[in-house]
A and B are shown apart, each in its own frame.
Chain A
Amino acid sequence: MKILVCISKTPDTTAKIAFTDNNTKFAEAGVQFILNPYDEWYALVRAIELKEANPSTVLHLINVGGTDSDPIIRKALALGGDEAIRVNSASHDDFYIATQIAEVAKQNNYDLIFTGKETIDYNGSSIGGMVAELLELPYISLATKFTLEGNVATVEREIEGGEETDVVTLPAVVSCQKGMAEQRIPNMRGIMGARTKPLKVVEPVQADTFTETASFELPPAKAGVKLVPADQPEELVRLLHEEAKVI
């Protein structure tokens, strides 16, 4: 069994969101970058569990990014990957990134490719589907549970107001969300071991970009909370009806 987990670098959940260069770039100064939580907590940890259940499993990690991705790649290796591949590119275009991942995947014949459900910065949720299409593989999106018997996977995915259980024969691509696994903290042995695990850097293949980020903006600031005295709940209902017009 060979598994590939796609990992991204994102600003920390609590990072202050601001922009520079005439609102065309995210202001990185002073921002702590982390391994995208969905990639880490759900995709990677579930893949590690599969490897623990079947130790002959080979677990690779892939990141499309610059050298500034190396700390989060080392963290992922500390949690449990065998080897990481970084495609040396700073592109943010989904199709370009998916093409790079698919290219590496083609050379290594993975049985299973995991992604997080989305990154917490661009919130695109599209890399998994694009990689699946490029490799002509089935894709299960937004999975909450994943079990494996031989090469047949049973996957639960979220749908409007409920869940669906799908059965798919590997190879397949799966995007992972809450429910797949529980967050882990890397231990000292993992952190020490990660230093000597291979981190291969490869140059990107030629690929198109379909989109370009023109600018960013922050939402208009809230006017401030209008407090209603606790003994006048009917006043709140009146405001929601007449002023906010939502009920």
Chain B
Amino acid sequence: MVLIFLDQAEGHIKKNSFEAACYGVKLAENLNTSAEGIVLGTVTDDLAALGKYGLKKIHTLKNEVLNNFDDQVFAHIIAEVAKSADAKVIIFSNNFNGKAVAPRLSVRLKAGLVSGAVALPDTTNGFVTKKSVFSGKAFATIAIKTDIKIISLNANAYKATKGEGTAEVVALNIEIPASKVTVKEVNKVAGEIPLSEAELVVSGGRGLKGPENWAIVTDLAKALGAATACSRPVSDSDWRPHHEHVGQTGLTIAPNLYFAIGISGAIQHLAGVNRSKTIVVINKDPEAPFFKAADYGIVGDAFEVVPKITEAVKKLKGIS
């Protein structure tokens, strides 16, 4: 059986978990076995409807305590389920929580872990999984040698698709161990698309000259339904919040579309975005290194070009 951990926040399954679910379902199909999910905490989503992604069974423990993530507690519960339901492969999304709990589970179950997978494992001869290495500049194929395997899947690396189906929902009867970590506060920007989950991203750099000029970025993002991001100098100067910083020291993202406005494309910035499927660069300097990594580009003044792009996007989408 392939077990998929479906991460939740505020009662809803996270977007990347649907990708992990579909990846796990496809892997189960290749291994001639079934795929099951595990959901911890008081999720309000219809769990039986997760069958639409191909999951046969959902193990769930609806307890408010589990709305606060603690990797030690979660590893304990997932390990218990993996053992009793005989999971051979466990799939996580390589998100913030996945990065914390998957390594623990690896030790607990003596199960080899590949984190940051970008494709389905090749199971024709052993169990070999491709992952992103060198900050997106290369891939490695890693063989897992243990009986039980753990994979954490990068965001946007596998497309979630829905069909028909209903999953059997099973309430877990596992005693929750006491947490050694107290969550004191959670701060989230309401109504924004989390950058780490976004399929479309519009990003601005120093070329925009100051925070007062950010409307061209946010307007385009709004028209596209995209998240906003920025380069390091921008967040270091407090023009934009730190959680928007993408690059070597910030967030690493791989959206379908990365729109870079007024960003020259230093190697440290590219390390955070070079796995994006399509990169568009708008820069007035034709020598900007970012053009070498781009798929599409416009050499021109962002203040003139970007509002026109926004208008064209609105026209395309029928937004007046």
Number of B residues near A (Cβ < 8 Å) is 97
Determine which of B95, B128, B138, B184 lies in contact with A214 in the assembled complex, contact meaning CB atoms within 8 Å.
B128
Q: Give the residues in chain A near B133, CB-CB below 8 Å.
A: 121-123, 216
Q: Give the residues in chain B near A189, CB-CB below 8 Å.
A: none
| B107 close to chain A: CB less than 8 A | yes
Task: Check B102–A129 contact: CB distance below 8 A.
Answer: yes
Interface size band for A: 35 or more
- A38 CA to B133 CA, complexed, in Å: 16
| A212 close to chain B: CB less than 8 A | yes
Best-surrounded residue of B100, B183, B184, B250 (most CB of chain A within 10 A): B100
Of all chain B residues, which has the CB nearest A41?
A: B249
Q: Give the residues in chain A near B300, CB-CB below 8 Å.
A: 230
Task: Check B103–A210 contact: CB distance below 8 A.
Answer: no
| A37 close to chain B: CB less than 8 A | yes
Q: Give the residues in chain B near A122, CB-CB below 8 Å.
A: 133, 140
| A233 close to chain B: CB less than 8 A | yes
Q: Give the residues in chain B near A239, CB-CB below 8 Å.
A: 296
- A166 CA to B250 CA, complexed, in Å: 21
Task: Check B296–A141 contact: CB distance below 8 A.
Answer: no
- A69 CA to B308 CA, complexed, in Å: 53
CB distance from A47 to the nearest CB of B (A): 18
- A179 CA to B294 CA, complexed, in Å: 30
Task: Check B183–A37 contact: CB distance below 8 A.
Answer: no
Q: Give the residues in chain B near A142, CB-CB below 8 Å.
A: 96, 99-100
Q: Give the residues in chain B near A230, CB-CB below 8 Å.
A: 298-301, 304-305
| A110 close to chain B: CB less than 8 A | no
Determine which of B131, B196, B297, B316 lies in contact with A225 in the assembled complex, contact meaning CB atoms within 8 Å.
B297
A-B contact list, 10 entries, CB within 8 Å: A95-B106, A126-B99, A159-B9, A163-B187, A163-B243, A178-B245, A212-B143, A214-B128, A240-B278, A246-B257
